[in-house]
Structure 1
């Protein structure tokens, strides 16, 4: 990995998967596999006529492929690293996008102990080098963890307060409300104490 001008993006699991799938669609499209599978499947997820629309979309995407790569047959492509593609811009576009999405999926497969094709290492491709994916801890020190627990406790108590007042709509006295809130606070503090003792 080139060590100059390195950047870090913090995302959650679903955002990481979204990045990987979008880049996979682009990488495959650039290599001559124009289906944009993940994108099209998502866009048509709530449509009853998705099969008909998917067929029509694939026909148009195939026509675009023939404009870009007239030398390729309908089911041919240049592979993950651009293969025999002579245009260096196209070759690197294929390889660089592969490098990113494939390493993300490899990281997730290893983390989740999945038995699939992504268990194997990401092969070299493109001209930008490999990327590094790692899981960051929510807190790095004991003090950070205690602050995170306190913040979670506050949010839970606030949410329970809103639940009692707005959603449950119980006809309770202020004394009964205070009792319910105090019981919930005691429960939360007990749970937080257990969490801290186990960490």
Structure 2
């Protein structure tokens, strides 16, 4: 893929607790790093020191988070047991079902078609609906947590995560059912049961 530097977080689609950031550098990137002319200002991300820590010299840099490393290993084992192709397909299937369910009750996505993430569904908060009250009710009554909008999108967007092990059909249907109940209590008009029915149909059609 001709990528020189890449990084990620363990707490997203890998379904591992937060605390690690897997990184990888190409030989070309490492050549630039190791031959830099200025001193690295950060101890924690001094790749010149980390290279010696990770490499054959084993020069001490930090105390490794062993428990997190074992957690990441297990998360990767679970991922590989299912298979990457199946994991990708599962995320897309659940995304399409969620999208169909939300559309059935008049809730649309903030991003245009072709630019929507299957694992992080950013949707518009319907007019007249209290963003914070809905999120609070989902969490306190149904143990479902969704994110609110950030910055200019505060109060206008919900961020619905369907990532990693949590991207499951039962989670999609439970969320839609709970959301319908809370929206009805706020006086939002829609056909009761429409979102769950549409999501179930989307699951059948895939």
Task: Assess same fold via TM > 0.5.
Answer: no
TM-score relative to the length of structure 2: 0.26
- The structure with the largest strand share of the pair is 2
- The structure with the largest helix share of the pair is 1
Structure ID, larger Rg: 1
Q: Pick 1 or 2: higher relative contact order, CA cutoff 8 A, min separation 6.
A: 2
